[in-house]
Protein backbone atom coordinates (compact mmCIF):
# COMPACT_ATOMS: atom_id res chain seq x y z
CA UNK A 1 0.00 0.00 0.00
CA UNK A 2 2.63 2.50 -1.08
CA UNK A 3 0.01 5.19 -1.78
CA UNK A 4 -2.02 4.74 1.41
CA UNK A 5 -3.93 7.95 2.13
CA UNK A 6 -2.70 9.77 -1.00
CA UNK A 7 -5.08 11.94 -3.00
CA UNK A 8 -4.30 11.73 -6.71
CA UNK A 9 -5.61 13.53 -9.77
CA UNK A 10 -5.38 11.47 -12.98
CA UNK A 11 -5.90 12.98 -16.42
CA UNK A 12 -6.12 11.40 -19.86
CA UNK A 13 -8.39 8.42 -19.22
CA UNK A 14 -10.39 7.69 -22.38
CA UNK A 15 -11.15 4.00 -21.91
CA UNK A 16 -9.89 0.98 -19.97
CA UNK A 17 -6.96 0.62 -22.39
CA UNK A 18 -5.60 4.06 -21.48
CA UNK A 19 -2.38 4.16 -19.49
CA UNK A 20 -4.10 6.66 -17.20
CA UNK A 21 -6.77 4.07 -16.45
CA UNK A 22 -4.13 1.49 -15.49
CA UNK A 23 -2.46 4.05 -13.22
CA UNK A 24 -5.77 4.96 -11.56
CA UNK A 25 -6.68 1.31 -11.04
CA UNK A 26 -3.32 0.38 -9.53
CA UNK A 27 -3.26 3.56 -7.42
CA UNK A 28 -6.58 2.59 -5.84
CA UNK A 29 -5.23 -0.87 -5.14
CA UNK A 30 -2.28 0.76 -3.38
CA UNK A 31 -4.52 2.84 -1.12
CA UNK A 32 -4.95 6.12 -3.01
CA UNK A 33 -8.11 8.15 -3.44
CA UNK A 34 -8.46 9.12 -7.10
CA UNK A 35 -10.30 11.74 -9.14
CA UNK A 36 -10.25 11.71 -12.95
CA UNK A 37 -10.56 14.58 -15.41
CA UNK A 38 -11.98 14.82 -18.91
CA UNK A 39 -13.95 17.25 -21.06
CA UNK A 40 -16.16 17.59 -24.10
CA UNK A 41 -17.40 14.58 -26.03
CA UNK A 42 -14.76 12.31 -24.49
CA UNK A 43 -16.14 12.84 -20.98
CA UNK A 44 -18.93 10.28 -21.45
CA UNK A 45 -16.31 7.67 -22.36
CA UNK A 46 -14.23 8.61 -19.33
CA UNK A 47 -17.27 8.28 -17.07
CA UNK A 48 -18.02 4.80 -18.41
CA UNK A 49 -14.41 3.82 -17.75
CA UNK A 50 -14.55 5.32 -14.25
CA UNK A 51 -17.58 3.15 -13.49
CA UNK A 52 -15.37 0.07 -13.92
CA UNK A 53 -13.04 1.17 -11.11
CA UNK A 54 -13.65 0.29 -7.47
CA UNK A 55 -14.66 2.66 -6.04
CA UNK A 56 -15.81 4.59 -9.11
CA UNK A 57 -14.07 8.00 -8.99
CA UNK A 58 -15.70 11.27 -9.96
CA UNK A 59 -14.80 12.79 -13.31
CA UNK A 60 -14.23 16.55 -13.24
CA UNK A 61 -13.96 18.91 -16.20
CA UNK A 62 -10.53 19.96 -17.39
CA UNK A 63 -9.53 21.35 -20.75
CA UNK A 64 -5.86 22.13 -20.12
CA UNK A 65 -5.97 24.84 -22.78
CA UNK A 66 -8.73 26.71 -20.92
CA UNK A 67 -7.59 28.98 -18.07
CA UNK A 68 -11.13 29.03 -16.71
CA UNK A 69 -11.14 25.23 -16.36
CA UNK A 70 -7.77 25.35 -14.61
CA UNK A 71 -9.01 27.83 -12.00
CA UNK A 72 -12.32 26.00 -11.54
CA UNK A 73 -10.68 22.61 -11.04
CA UNK A 74 -8.23 23.99 -8.50
CA UNK A 75 -11.14 25.49 -6.52
CA UNK A 76 -13.10 22.23 -6.72
CA UNK A 77 -10.16 20.16 -5.47
CA UNK A 78 -9.56 22.60 -2.63
CA UNK A 79 -13.23 22.33 -1.65
CA UNK A 80 -13.31 18.52 -1.85
CA UNK A 81 -9.92 17.54 -0.53
CA UNK A 82 -8.10 20.60 0.73
CA UNK A 83 -4.90 19.14 -0.64
CA UNK A 84 -3.48 17.11 -3.54
CA UNK A 85 -0.59 14.67 -3.13
CA UNK A 86 0.02 13.78 -6.76
CA UNK A 87 -1.13 14.37 -10.32
CA UNK A 88 -0.75 12.34 -13.49
CA UNK A 89 -0.35 14.13 -16.83
CA UNK A 90 -1.48 11.70 -19.53
CA UNK A 91 -2.46 14.33 -22.08
CA UNK A 92 -1.20 14.55 -25.66
CA UNK A 93 -2.67 15.71 -28.95
CA UNK A 94 -1.45 16.70 -32.39
CA UNK A 95 -3.66 17.59 -35.36
CA UNK A 96 -3.76 15.03 -38.17
CA UNK A 97 -1.57 17.19 -40.39
CA UNK A 98 1.16 17.31 -37.72
CA UNK A 99 1.78 13.55 -37.66
CA UNK A 100 1.86 10.67 -40.11
CA UNK A 101 4.93 11.58 -42.16
CA UNK A 102 4.01 15.15 -43.05
CA UNK A 103 6.67 16.93 -41.00
CA UNK A 104 7.71 19.47 -43.63
CA UNK A 105 4.12 20.16 -44.70
CA UNK A 106 2.78 20.82 -41.19
CA UNK A 107 1.41 24.38 -40.84
CA UNK A 108 2.54 26.59 -37.99
CA UNK A 109 -0.83 26.49 -36.20
CA UNK A 110 -0.85 22.69 -36.06
CA UNK A 111 2.65 22.59 -34.60
CA UNK A 112 1.60 25.17 -32.00
CA UNK A 113 -1.46 23.08 -31.11
CA UNK A 114 0.71 20.00 -30.57
CA UNK A 115 3.07 21.96 -28.30
CA UNK A 116 0.35 23.66 -26.28
CA UNK A 117 -1.70 20.53 -25.59
CA UNK A 118 1.15 18.04 -25.19
CA UNK A 119 3.90 20.05 -23.48
CA UNK A 120 2.76 23.40 -22.08
CA UNK A 121 -0.15 21.49 -20.53
CA UNK A 122 2.20 19.93 -17.98
CA UNK A 123 2.86 23.42 -16.62
CA UNK A 124 -0.89 24.11 -16.78
CA UNK A 125 -1.61 21.00 -14.71
CA UNK A 126 1.01 22.14 -12.23
CA UNK A 127 -0.96 25.38 -11.90
CA UNK A 128 -3.99 23.31 -10.84
CA UNK A 129 -2.37 21.16 -8.17
CA UNK A 130 0.80 22.74 -6.81
CA UNK A 131 -1.05 25.42 -4.77
CA UNK A 132 -2.68 22.47 -2.96
CA UNK A 133 0.60 20.64 -2.27
CA UNK A 134 1.41 22.33 1.02
CA UNK A 135 3.45 19.36 2.26
CA UNK A 136 5.09 18.54 -1.04
CA UNK A 137 3.82 16.23 -3.74
CA UNK A 138 4.53 14.61 -7.07
CA UNK A 139 3.83 15.43 -10.71
CA UNK A 140 4.09 12.52 -13.12
CA UNK A 141 3.93 12.80 -16.92
CA UNK A 142 3.87 10.21 -19.70
CA UNK A 143 6.58 10.54 -22.32
CA UNK A 144 7.78 8.78 -25.47
CA UNK A 145 11.54 8.83 -26.07
CA UNK A 146 12.28 12.19 -27.70
CA UNK A 147 16.01 11.67 -28.22
CA UNK A 148 15.48 10.26 -31.73
CA UNK A 149 13.14 10.89 -34.67
CA UNK A 150 10.50 8.16 -34.97
CA UNK A 151 8.59 7.23 -38.14
CA UNK A 152 5.35 9.22 -38.48
CA UNK A 153 5.61 10.80 -35.00
CA UNK A 154 6.70 14.15 -36.43
CA UNK A 155 5.50 17.19 -34.44
CA UNK A 156 4.27 15.02 -31.61
CA UNK A 157 7.89 13.96 -31.20
CA UNK A 158 8.91 17.61 -31.09
CA UNK A 159 6.21 18.23 -28.48
CA UNK A 160 7.52 15.33 -26.38
CA UNK A 161 11.00 16.86 -26.50
CA UNK A 162 9.44 20.06 -25.20
CA UNK A 163 7.59 18.09 -22.52
CA UNK A 164 10.91 16.72 -21.28
CA UNK A 165 12.30 20.24 -21.04
CA UNK A 166 9.18 21.55 -19.27
CA UNK A 167 9.58 18.75 -16.74
CA UNK A 168 13.15 19.79 -15.97
CA UNK A 169 12.16 23.41 -15.38
CA UNK A 170 9.27 22.34 -13.15
CA UNK A 171 11.70 20.20 -11.15
CA UNK A 172 13.93 23.25 -10.74
CA UNK A 173 11.19 25.64 -9.69
CA UNK A 174 9.04 23.32 -7.57
CA UNK A 175 11.77 21.40 -5.78
CA UNK A 176 12.23 24.00 -3.02
CA UNK A 177 8.57 23.41 -2.12
CA UNK A 178 9.15 19.66 -1.87
CA UNK A 179 7.30 18.98 -5.13
CA UNK A 180 8.82 16.45 -7.51
CA UNK A 181 8.37 16.36 -11.30
CA UNK A 182 9.20 13.21 -13.25
CA UNK A 183 8.32 11.47 -16.50
CA UNK A 184 7.86 7.85 -17.50
CA UNK A 185 9.08 7.23 -21.06
CA UNK A 186 6.93 4.29 -22.09
CA UNK A 187 7.27 1.88 -24.94
CA UNK A 188 4.37 1.82 -27.41
CA UNK A 189 1.11 0.92 -25.68
CA UNK A 190 -1.98 0.18 -27.73
CA UNK A 191 -4.25 3.01 -26.56
CA UNK A 192 -6.99 4.92 -28.37
CA UNK A 193 -4.62 7.83 -28.95
CA UNK A 194 -1.81 5.62 -30.27
CA UNK A 195 -4.08 3.80 -32.71
CA UNK A 196 -4.75 7.11 -34.44
CA UNK A 197 -1.07 7.64 -35.31
CA UNK A 198 -0.14 6.46 -38.79
CA UNK A 199 2.89 4.21 -38.48
CA UNK A 200 2.17 3.19 -34.87
CA UNK A 201 1.65 -0.40 -36.00
CA UNK A 202 5.19 -0.44 -37.39
CA UNK A 203 6.63 0.69 -34.06
CA UNK A 204 4.43 -1.77 -32.18
CA UNK A 205 5.52 -4.74 -34.29
CA UNK A 206 9.23 -3.93 -34.15
CA UNK A 207 9.43 -3.06 -30.45
CA UNK A 208 9.10 -6.59 -29.11
CA UNK A 209 12.04 -7.77 -31.21
CA UNK A 210 14.25 -4.87 -30.16
CA UNK A 211 13.45 -4.94 -26.43
CA UNK A 212 15.93 -7.03 -24.39
CA UNK A 213 13.15 -7.75 -21.89
CA UNK A 214 10.50 -8.13 -24.56
CA UNK A 215 7.49 -5.86 -24.79
CA UNK A 216 3.72 -6.42 -24.73
CA UNK A 217 2.06 -3.36 -26.23
CA UNK A 218 -1.31 -4.55 -24.89
CA UNK A 219 -0.16 -4.41 -21.27
CA UNK A 220 0.15 -0.95 -19.65
CA UNK A 221 0.84 -2.57 -16.27
CA UNK A 222 4.64 -2.07 -16.22
CA UNK A 223 4.20 1.62 -17.03
CA UNK A 224 1.55 2.01 -14.33
CA UNK A 225 3.71 0.32 -11.70
CA UNK A 226 6.65 2.64 -12.43
CA UNK A 227 4.29 5.61 -12.23
CA UNK A 228 3.08 4.48 -8.81
CA UNK A 229 6.65 4.30 -7.55
CA UNK A 230 7.35 7.85 -8.73
CA UNK A 231 4.13 9.11 -7.14
CA UNK A 232 4.99 7.45 -3.84
CA UNK A 233 7.24 8.56 -1.00
CA UNK A 234 9.67 5.83 -2.04
CA UNK A 235 10.78 8.23 -4.80
CA UNK A 236 11.15 11.19 -2.43
CA UNK A 237 14.70 11.92 -3.62
CA UNK A 238 13.93 11.79 -7.36
CA UNK A 239 12.97 14.76 -9.50
CA UNK A 240 13.63 15.98 -13.03
CA UNK A 241 14.02 12.35 -14.08
CA UNK A 242 12.88 10.37 -17.11
CA UNK A 243 12.39 6.71 -16.23
CA UNK A 244 12.31 4.47 -19.29
CA UNK A 245 9.77 1.67 -19.10
CA UNK A 246 10.21 0.28 -22.59
CA UNK A 247 11.71 -3.18 -22.21
CA UNK A 248 15.18 -1.68 -22.65
CA UNK A 249 14.85 -0.41 -26.23
CA UNK A 250 16.31 3.00 -25.32
CA UNK A 251 19.56 1.28 -24.30
CA UNK A 252 20.25 -0.79 -27.41
CA UNK A 253 20.92 0.08 -31.02
CA UNK A 254 19.42 -3.01 -32.66
CA UNK A 255 17.29 -6.03 -31.95
CA UNK A 256 18.74 -8.54 -29.51
CA UNK A 257 19.80 -11.76 -31.34
CA UNK A 258 17.97 -14.97 -30.51
CA UNK A 259 21.12 -16.74 -29.35
CA UNK A 260 24.81 -16.15 -28.61
CA UNK A 261 26.83 -14.64 -31.39
CA UNK A 262 29.02 -16.98 -33.43
CA UNK A 263 32.70 -16.91 -32.54
CA UNK A 264 34.80 -14.96 -34.98
CA UNK A 265 37.06 -17.07 -37.21
Residues near 3 by beta carbon (within 8 Å), at least 6 away in sequence: 27, 30, 31, 32, 86, 228, 231, 232
Q: State yes or no: cis peptide before 207, omega within 30 of 0.
A: no
- CA–CA dist 46, 34 (Å, integer): 14
Give the helix, strand, coil percentages of the chain, each rounded to 5: 45, 15, 40
Does 6 participate in catalysis according to the annotation? no
238 Ramachandran zone, left/alpha/beta (phi>0; psi -120 to 50):
beta
Looking at the DSSP assignment, which residues form a beta bridge with residue 61?
38
User: 37 with 156: CB under 8 angstroms?
Assistant: no
User: 28 with 34: CB under 8 angstroms?
Assistant: yes
- Catalytic one of 7, 120, 160, 169: 160
Residues near 201 by beta carbon (within 8 Å), at least 6 away in sequence: none
β-strands 242-245, 86-89: how paired? unpaired
Does 112 participate in catalysis according to the annotation? no
- CA–CA dist 194, 189 (Å, integer): 7
- Catalytic one of 7, 43, 153, 169: 153
Number of C-beta neighbours around residue 148 at 10 A: 8
Active-site residues: which are they? Answer: 153, 160
Amino acid sequence: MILEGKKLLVTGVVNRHSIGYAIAERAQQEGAEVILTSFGRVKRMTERSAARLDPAPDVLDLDVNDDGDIAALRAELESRWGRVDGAVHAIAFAPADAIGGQFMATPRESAKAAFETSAYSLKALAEVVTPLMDDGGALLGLDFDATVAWPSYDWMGVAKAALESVNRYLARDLGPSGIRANLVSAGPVHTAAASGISGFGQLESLWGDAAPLGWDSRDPGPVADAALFLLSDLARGITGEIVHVDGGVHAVGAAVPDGPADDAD
